[in-house]
Amino acid sequence: MASLLVTGGFEAGGRVGVLVPGSGLENSHASAALLGLNLCYAIGPSRLSLDYCYTGLPAKQASPYRFDVHELALGYGHEFVVGRPAAGSTSGWGVEASAAAGFGLLDRTHASAGEGGKAPASHLGAGLFQRQGHSRVSLGLDNIVFIESQPNGSTRAFALTYLIALKAGVTYVF
Whether 140 maps to a domain, the answer reads yes
Q: What's the average model confidence in pLDDT over 94-123?
A: 90
pLDDT given at position 59? 85
Whether 15 maps to a domain, the answer reads yes
The strand ranges marked E within 28-64 are: 32-43, 46-58
pLDDT given at position 60? 83
Q: Tell me the pLDDT tens digit for each residue of 58-77.
A: 888 777 888 899 999 999 99
Of 10, 6, 50, residue with least CA distance to 171:
10
* CATH number, residue 141: 2.40.160.20
Whether 81 maps to a domain, the answer reads no
Whether 22 maps to a domain, the answer reads yes
DSSP reduced 3-state for 89: coil
- What is the domain range of residue 148? 9-44+51-70+100-173
pTM across the whole model: 0.83
Which range (70-74, 99-103, 150-154) has the least confidence?
150-154
Would the pLDDT of 23 be above 70?
yes
Q: How many domains does the chain have?
A: 1
Confidence grade of residue 4 (pLDDT, cut at 50, 70, 90): very low
Whether 4 maps to a domain, the answer reads no
Whether 141 maps to a domain, the answer reads yes
Whether 154 maps to a domain, the answer reads yes
Q: Say how far apart CA 62 and CA 16 lie, in whole Å.
A: 25
Whether 2 maps to a domain, the answer reads no
The strand ranges marked E within 84-112 are: 91-110
Burial 13-22 (b: 16+ CB within 10 A, else e): bebebebbbb
Confidence grade of residue 5 (pLDDT, cut at 50, 70, 90): very low
Assess contact for 143 and 164: CB atoms under 8 A. Answer: yes
